[in-house]
Amino acid sequence: MKNAKRRIDLVLLPIVILAAILNGYGIWNDQYANSYYTTAVGSMLRNFHNFFYASLDSAGSVTVDKPPVVFWIQTAFAYVFGLHGWSVILPQVLAGIGSVLIIYFLVKPTFGLAAARIAALAMATVPVVAAVSRTNNIDSMLVFTLLLGSWFLFIGTKQGSPWRILVAFGLIGLAFNMKMLQAYMILPAFYIFYLLAFQAKWRKKILLLIGSTAVLAVVSLSWAVTVDSIPESQRPYIGSSETNSVLELAFGYNGLSRLTGQQNRTAGAGMPNMADDRNRDDASAAALDYDSSDNSVAAGKPPGDGSTGEMGQMNGMNFPQGGQMPNGAEMPNGRNFGGNGGGMGGMFGTGEKGVLRLFQTELSGQASWLLPTVLLGCIALFAGLRRRNITMKHKEAAFWLIWLLPVAAFFSVAGFFHQYYLIMLAPPVAALTGAGFVAMWQAYRERNGWQAWLLPLAVLLTTIFGWYIMQVYDDTIGAGWSISELIAGIVITLILIVMLNRSHQWKQGIIVAGFMVMLIGPVYWAFTPITYGGNSMIPAAGPTGSNGMFGGMGMAMGGRQGDRDSEMTPPNAASDTDSSFPGASGSGAADDNSSTGTPPASGGNMFGGGGMGAAGGRGGAGNRNEEVDKTTLNYLRENNTGETYLFATTDYNQAAPYIIDENEAVITLGGFSGSDPVYTTEELEELVKRGQVKYFMVGGMGGRGGNSDISSWIMEHGTEIPASEWMTGTDSGAGFGGQSTLYEVKL
């Protein structure tokens, strides 16, 4: 028993509790989370066909724009706990906590207990980690899987275990099936560390590396090749792809396009499509022969000319080319480190490309706080490196550094990414902070020449950088935070300098205090998703929430939906519709921040309004979510004459609450952006003739570059239902999304 108690690190326990609070507190207030993904989970609960493909809609006609592994996990949680915002967020919360623990156990064996504790605390307080882990976005689970693979790699090299090496590379392949090429960002670190650390004859080492790469490739491509090999008439259209191919999606939209910034059709999950209309061949439907009780489904033909478009016009708004924000859109106080002026940089608030991009105001608050400590810590770690004296410390430090540098380089030049992608920086920053700070600590304690000055310099530079990040927001959070960190950092630096050549019992306490002062900014920022509200669509930490296009612009163009909220009744917690899976319905608690039509504290998003047969969104603050309009629901149910689907819509946001809250079967005609060529007019006609669907909801955000032929066919063959008959109120044009109209089509 005593030995067991010794093995329990009591310092780690509060760190884990802190991570649990930062990642999980208040997730029960997020009704829909990222409704794009939650809608898919609701559809996946219906049958195995939808589950396997990660189908967005009930008909299994179009997939989400990411591989299915994370959504399989979320669906399993929803199966057990019911479909709520918190139940699909919970896996990411656990993954965030798990990442803190894995960092601890990765660092401890080689760098010691103190380094492991510091690394775990640093990982727990990286602001973007907390922001992302509180949502149902993929990245928290991705990072956990990559860290798990790293753990197998470290254990495999130390024990000379080939099968652990194979598992390590297999886990990277699994991570590929979470977010595609983003998982491969750590492969340089894997390969180089393996070659440096695995002890075996070169022939055996190379053969094992070839085998590991083969495992990586097989696991990575298993789902993609399987799906692409299935006839298109028997599977959904691959959402956001140009050629109805998973491989093209992986290496195009989710691959090279992230670096170049050239987005062909959509702007990604959580962003509206700003592409111009294209002359494309329509694809075939997935629901011609679909019945809610079986798994049969039809799918789309490949699109035709593959023409591309550039950022252009969205519902009458002109956006600059190249993903830039309009002139005049600035961060607070117009500050920009190393950029041109003080503009927003990219349209997603990602700053100006360049070496100092991660230090610019737009990005620095997410994961860059401790980079000065990391830089100086690496100097301390590698200062004694000699060719014949390469230790495991050097090799593991090199692993983390080789993880950090390519990822940092990518984000310094990439044309299209969101702030929350910077979670990829968190593990190496945390590990190198722990290892490097302890190395500087030892050099300072031993008065090791010039290296002894690295620790005071790290405290000074890191606190100055923390002041630089925070002082931009003095008008929001008060100047006390930034000034207190700056003053405390300077004072502790001076004390460390004075005590350098003296022995004092308080020296260790001062060093610990110096590290805690460096964490003032990160800890405050990590709490902002709780204190200021988060954005589940495009999460980011900081007093203004998501500082990208959504958060930065607030809801200046938000609609009047809040005026109608008082007329809405809460959505039912369950539906009468049967499901192939239990727990496929239910609603989470509502967050009222976005129900008033005014900007939430987090900055909100530009799509604040939008009554499209659904009440104003009350998901996580800043999300454009809808709620069930009971009048619409009752009208569609009462007038259903045996059709399989309650209605079809050109905007998935309209379908979301009916799928999530009511477990209704709804078709989305164009995927996330509304522009995926999922259906042809002939297939819609066949759907109607077979009694699959008769009501079509057209408009809202579905008009943002969607298939105009589909909308025209519906309007030509359908009868418009007066808004007074099917929706609460008559303000169908509320919000940025524009007017929504319900048509009944009978043939």
Residue 83: burial class (beta carbons within 10 Å; 0-12, 13-18, 19+) = buried
Element (H, E) at 12: helix 12-24
Mean pLDDT of 158-164: 97
Q: What's the CA gap between 240 and 262, in Å, rounded? A: 13
* pLDDT single digits (tens) 508-560: 999 999 999 999 999 999 999 999 988 899 999 999 744 433 333 333 333 33
| Residue 98 near residue 325, CB atoms below 8 Å | no
* Of 221-225, 470-474, 729-733, the least confident: 729-733
Give the contacts of 694 (CB within 8 A, at least 6 positions apart). Answer: 641, 643, 688, 744, 745, 746
Predicted confidence band of residue 386 (pLDDT cuts 50, 70, 90): confident
- Show the beta-strand stretches assigned E in 129-250: none
pLDDT at 673: 80
pLDDT value of position 346: 52
The confidence score (pLDDT) of residue 264 equals 53
709 vs 17, higher pLDDT: 17
Q: What is the mean pLDDT of the chain?
A: 81
Residue 263's pLDDT is 57
The angle subtended at Cα 613 by Cα 285 and Cα 540, nearest 5°, is 85
For residues 242 and 676, the answer to whether their CB atoms sit within 8 Å is no
Q: Outline where 639-728 has alpha helix (H).
A: 652-660, 681-689, 708-717, 723-726
Q: What is the mean pLDDT of residues 146-168?
A: 98
What are the residues facing 628 on neighbouring strands? 614
pLDDT bin (cut points 50, 70, 90) of residue 594 is very low
Whether 261 has a pLDDT exceeding 50, the answer reads yes
Distances (CA, A) of 449 to 376, 441, 443, 508: 15, 13, 8, 19
Q: What SS3 string covers 45-86?
A: CCCHHHHHHCECCCCCCEECCCCCHHHHHHHHHHHHHCCCHH
pLDDT of 325 higher than 50: no
Interstrand relation of 647-649 and 695-699 (parallel, antiparallel or unpaired): parallel
Residue 640 pLDDT: 96
CB atoms within 10 A of CB 719: 10
Segments making up each domain of the chain, as ranges: 2-30+65-226+326-531, 554-745
706: confidence class by pLDDT, cuts 50, 70, 90: low
Q: Choose between 651 and 596: higher pLDDT.
A: 651
Quick one: 642 exposed, middle or buried, by C-beta within 10 A (0-12, 13-18, 19+)? exposed
Average pLDDT of the segment spanning 701-721: 79
Phi, psi of 483 (to 5 degrees): -70, -40
Place 286 in a pLDDT band, splitting at 50, 70 and 90.
very low
Kindly indicate the confidence band of residue 338, based on its pLDDT and cuts at 50, 70 and 90: very low
When comparing pLDDT for 582 and 117, which is higher? 117
Looking at residue 293, what is its pLDDT? 37
Q: Judge if pTM exceeds 0.75.
A: yes
Average pLDDT over residues 375-396: 92
pLDDT at 60: 97
Of the candidate ranges 4-8, 137-141, 404-408, the one whose mean pLDDT is the lowest: 4-8
Question: What does the longest C-alpha to C-alpha distance in the chain come to?
Answer: 92
Weakest-pLDDT range from 146-155, 163-172, 376-385: 376-385
| Residue carrying the six token digits 């005049």 | 328
Q: What is the mean pLDDT of residues 730-739?
A: 47
pLDDT band at 600 (very low <50, low <70, confident <90, very high): very low
Quote the pLDDT of residue 743: 97
Side-chain-side CA neighbours of 735 within 13 Å: the count stands at 33
Higher-confidence residue of 639 and 325: namely 639
Q: Which amino acid is at 143?
A: V
Q: Are 23 and 96 in contact (CB under 8 A)?
A: yes
User: What is the DSSP code (8-state) at residue 548?
Assistant: S
pLDDT above 50: residue 344: no
pLDDT at site 655: 95
| Lowest mean pLDDT segment, chosen from 288-302, 561-575, 709-723 | 561-575
**pLDDT of 586 higher than 80:** no
Three-class secondary structure of residue 317 per DSSP: strand
185 has pLDDT over 90? yes
Alpha-carbon distance of 693 to 691, in angstroms, equals 6
Question: What's the mean pLDDT in 314-330?
Answer: 36
| Whole-number percent of the chain with pLDDT over 90 | 67
